[in-house]
Structure 1
Amino acid sequence: VHMDGARIFNASVESGVPVKEYADTADDITFCLSKGLGCPAFSILSSTKEFIKKAKRCRKLLGGGMRQIGIFAAAGIYALEHNIARLKEDHEHREAISNALSETGWANIVISSTNMIFFTSPYPAQSIVTAFRNKGVLFLEDGGMCRIVTSLNNNDEDVAETIEIIKSMEESEFV
């Protein structure tokens, strides 16, 4: 059984369940060093020595690999040592933004967990995204929903400003 652990550290911080407990339920796991942890790129594959040996061979056969990646390795080590504990801040920022959206008459929260918010609206998602972009707040339309992700790139001031923009939005801006 493979586990796609792209956001496993967010899940662990949110739930209080150690990453090892999640990982122990699978034969192998990948986890991302960039999503939430701030590394510029790369994921880690973890499994048995035999599986990793096969994975390295497959990577080589498919032309994967990079040279001189020490700088990325250093960024990955830094991310693992410094940025896991601070994920709680991202979750707090998500909660504050989610609460502000919930108080509007136009946002219906579908999912608000870890560092992600998905919401629908009677207005087209793309028009909401555009209205917010015009005020300097960037997020995406994803399958007819609006998707907001908080990260280490967002500080308390950014979140406070976003909340003020949410509160000041007029529904007429979405049409």
Structure 2
Amino acid sequence: MGETLLIDLRSDTVTKPSPDMRKAMAEAEVGDDVYGDDPTVNALEEKAAELFGKESALFVTSGTQGNLVSVLSQTGRGDEIILGNQSHIYSSEAGGVSVLGGVVMYPLETNQNGTIDIQKIKDAVKGDDYHKPRTKLFSFENSHNWSSGRPINKLDSDKMAKAAKEVGLRVHVDGARIFNSAVSLGIPVKELTENVDSVTFCLSKGLGCPIGSVIVGEKDQIIEARRVRKILGSAMRQVGVIASCGIVALDTMIERLEDDHENAKKLAIGLSEMDIIEIDADNIYTNLVRFKITNQKGFEFAEKLKEYGVHINGGESDLRMVTHYGIESSDIDKTIEAVSKAVNVI
């Protein structure tokens, strides 16, 4: 007990920039991005759009802002978005689309694998009833945070998108960790998202950048998204210093996500061998590991684990560990050992 806190598994947002990123920041060509004059931002946006097979892209400060801008650029005040009741937009973004955009959120039950039933999507559309909001947008999350980072495969993704479009809705994907899904499924992100209208993906999670997310979509939507970003006070100037990391990430950090997945699987298997822990190790596919301690609250155990040099997130019942750039296989061994020690002193 009393060991120095060394292993931080709270989130993949705690990563530090790689040496290549730091070099790119120091050498980045910059200009005023509000005028469209930052060559590094332009290069990042072009690269992202090409990677996803979309017409255009927009660099934003965070995943939450990316989702907010995406929703507000495809809806109006009083319109409605259909989304999962466990989605990040609904549960963890401070109700931003409603607070700032006047958009009504209509949550649907989320299946264990992160999908939403096709018929429920169709039935949720309000039609022309003027007593109710106009349903304009459907959103789902890939990978799905609350489903232990479960990747939604192309078949299920296409089914949901097709169902939404059949009833006249546009489709947005919260793809904060979409590259984790693509790597896990062995499919390019372009194919995984080809039937949706917009995607937000984070640079500052598994890809290891210090700041930023990107929205990809149709040209007209991105033009409107740029306006919404300005309304939110988030148009930036010589931001190529930051965007440079995104280029490095898209060039060098995608394939290495498999290392994070392997570490997460190893961690889950190790945890599953402890009687006091509830975990479905067979359904760990990416870098998120969710589990429960059967005889105490999650946040209490998370606090106890700090004493053994491991920092994780714990709620009322669930705990979460996230593998990421900078975490090695040896760190997983140490984490399993630390959990075993902490469990044995409960």
TM-score computed with the length of structure 1 as normaliser: 0.92
Alignment of 1:17-56 (within 5 A): 17-56=187-226
- Pairing 1:151–2:324 present: yes
Could you list the per-position Cα deviations for residues 93-115 of structure 1 after superposition, in whole angstroms to 9, with x for gaps in the alignment? 10111011000011111563300
Corresponding position of 2:176: 6
Q: Name the SS of the counterpart of 1:148 in structure 2.
A: strand
What are the within-5 Å matches in structure 2 for residues 89-100 of structure 1? 89-100=259-270
**Partners in 2 of 1:125 and 1:101 — Cα distance?**
15
Within the candidate set 145, 164, 168, 2:337 is matched to 164
TM score, norm. by length of structure 2: 0.48
Q: Which letter does structure 2 place at the counterpart of 1:119?
A: F
For 2:291, the equivalent position in structure 1 comes to: 119
Q: By how many angstroms is 1:62 displaced?
A: 2.6
Residue 137, structure 1, aligned to residue 310, structure 2: yes
Residue 288 of structure 2 aligns to which amino acid in structure 1? M
The CA deviation at 1:8 is: 0.3
Q: Which has the higher contact order (CA 8 A, sep 6+)?
A: 2
SS in 1 for 2:227: helix
Give distance in 1, aligned partners of 2:300 and 2:335: 17
**1:87 equivalenced with 2:257 (yes/no):** yes
Cα deviation digits, residues 68-110 of structure 1 (max 9, x gap): 1112111011111111000000001101110110000111115
Which residue number in structure 2 is paired with residue 73 of structure 1?
A: 243
The answer on whether the counterparts of 1:106 and 1:171 sit within 8 Å (CA) in structure 2 is no
Q: Distance in 1 between matches of 2:263 and 2:246?
A: 24
Per-residue deviation at 1:143?
4.8
CA deviation after TM superposition for structure 1 residue 130, in Å: 1.5
Distance 1:150 1:168 in 2: 20
Aligned pair count reads: 173
Query: Computing the radius of gyration over CA atoms, which structure comes out larger, 1 or 2?
Result: 2
| Runs (5+) with no aligned partner, structure 1 | none
CA contact (8 A) 1:14 1:114 kept: yes
How much identity, in percent, do the aligned residues show?
39
Structure 2: which amino acid aligns with 1:23?
T
Structure 2, unmatched stretches of 5+, are: 1-170
Deviation at 1:165, TM superposition (A): 2.0
Give the partner amino acid of 2:307: N
Instruction: Tell me the SS of whatever aligns to 2:291.
Output: strand
